[in-house]
Chains A and B, each alone.
Chain A
Amino acid sequence: MKNFIILIFILSFYLLTSGKNYQVSANISGAEIYKKHCLVCHQADGSGVPGMFPPLVRTNRVLGPPDSLIRVIISGISGPLTVNGNDYEQVMPAMNYLTDSEIASVLTFIRSSWGNKAAAVPVKDVKRVRFQTRTSH
């Protein structure tokens, strides 16, 4: 009986904290996806590379409504691209191999890092944009 009570305690503690754990792991995975797929071009501080890859900090493309941002991840974009008055000539490959939740996580990470303060990107928005991208072809 005593063991059973301890088990209940452990179980309830796990259940209470697991939601929190989920939140933490979602954030970590956004950072990890960024590191794996985005960092080499857009840099660890999101500042990009002058003339080549645009910055992800303090730009309307990143901080504005997320649909166009989601579309860039799914379909890619080719330069030259003008961001904040500067030209960037390199290509952004389509990353449609990322899952909907991975795209939501990494965009949420980008929109809340390096001084960026924009709303999280919900998975349902990624699903909707991906569907629109498919049907528009």
Chain B
Amino acid sequence: MNYLKILLLPLLLLPLVTPGACVIKNPDNGNPPDDTGITVPPGFSSLIVADNLGQGRHIAVGENGDIYLALRTLKNGKGIVGLRDKNGDYRADSIIYFGSTITTGIEIMNNYLYFSNYSEVYRVPLSPGKLITESNPILIAGGFPAQNPHRDKTFTLDGAGNIYVNVGAPSNACTSPDRTPGTSGLDPCPQLERHAGIWRFSDNKPGQDQVADGHHYASGIRNSIAIAWNKSNNKLYVVQHGRDQLSQLYPNLYTDQESAELPAEEFFLIEDGGFYGWPYCYYDQFKKQKLLAPEYGGNKSAIGRCADAINPIMAFPGHLAPNDLLFYTGTMFPAKYRDGAFIAFHGSWNRAPLAQEGYYVVFVPFKNGLPSGEMEVFADGFAGVDPVSSPGNAKHRPMGLAQGPDGSLYVSDSVEGTIWRISYDGKL
């Protein structure tokens, strides 16, 4: 039965993926001249705000429409790029680089620009009428351990004075050494003390330290680059990057096919003090159950201590790499999008030797703070190739999401730094 589901899954996704594939397969044949390389649902349209900005991470859009893109590698020695449209065509006319460190997370709240690098979160007041700020950034939260991998300190703000910072796990499944066959998991996992969770801080108190000032809000979350506050019910949500390499590390337990599909990328509703399972557990979306990880004695069916870990509110196919989450509060898009979730799936790397999957932005409808329908591919075709045989072939990868003041949706790209604006006018 599980095999049947595994085989059927690509077929289920096919109708959603196909519209994008049509455009991608014929890049020089019959596309409209303003083709942006991506496909959006009927009634929506997209345009390119700017491109070749650098290796983009998260993106923020202010109330005046100014756009700020975080850059993973410095460009012109700078880690943030500010963009402004001066003539109302939504394309950037003014592009200015600023900020001296690489940047991962970026948000605007109460006229402050918040941004993070790999170990600190800063904020700086936005200057009225100016695209770049002249003030010096103030450290808001720091003291996070230097780590590698999963360094991004992405964050979200609740608008009530708090900022929630993601600290990823510095390993695949808390073994030492990491990613090595035959090593069992450290138990208890010491990495849970300072990593693999979410820390809450005041959003305006300077110089806070993770240990001295941070509130350990949730734990057992491997890496939640995609983190967002849902204003409709005032709750925190994240989408987790699930663990990798089940079949490479445990070839006697898992086939490559199972390892490509498992475990699910988990969508969590975060409760204060909640424990979500990593590294002891992973979620099997076919059995619809948290299972004990093989590093901790799991055998593909044992549950053990995972009975106590909080289940996801939704499970996505494995390894799609959820890199941003946005709850839509605008009125430009049709009613079904209101309070629903957009998720940018950066795209997989470890579904090899199968074709990679993801590289699209999906929409999940919500009702009363919970998903009320299946995920649907909203924007697709970013990769420019289909299928994506390896991630390096992708021309673009959707990375960050932001909502414009008019309710349009902005998507950033990690490969070349393209920014798309997606709007709705109802024209079919």
Contact = CB atoms under 8 A, between A and B. Distances in A.
Interface of A: 35, 37, 39-41, 43-45, 47-53, 55, 76, 78-80, 86-87, 89-91, 93-94, 97
Most buried by A among B149, B181, B353, B414: B149
A18 to B, nearest CB: 31
30 contacts: A40-B352, A41-B349, A43-B352, A43-B390, A43-B392, A44-B353, A44-B389, A45-B392, A47-B393, A49-B390, A49-B392, A50-B414, A51-B72, A51-B414, A52-B349, A55-B392, A78-B148, A79-B149, A87-B73, A89-B148, A89-B150, A89-B151, A90-B149, A91-B148, A91-B171, A93-B178, A93-B179, A94-B180, A97-B181, A97-B182
Contacts of A80: 148
Contacts of A41: 349-350
Interface string B177-209: 111111000000000000000000000000000
B38 interface: no
A52 B390 CA distance: 13
Contacts of A48: 390, 392
Contacts of A78: 148
Given A50-B414, A50-B415, A93-B180, A44 B390 contact: yes
Contacts of A76: 177, 180
Contacts, number: 72
A94 B178 CA distance: 9
Contacts of A87: 73
A24 to B, nearest CB: 22
Interface in B69-91: 72-73
Nearest to B171: A91
B344 to A, nearest CB: 15
A86 B352 contact: no
Given A40-B352, A91-B149, A45 B390 contact: yes
Contacts of B248: 37, 40
Nearest to B147: A89
Contacts of A86: 73
Most buried by B among A43, A76, A80: A43
A43 B149 CA distance: 19
Interface in B303-340: none
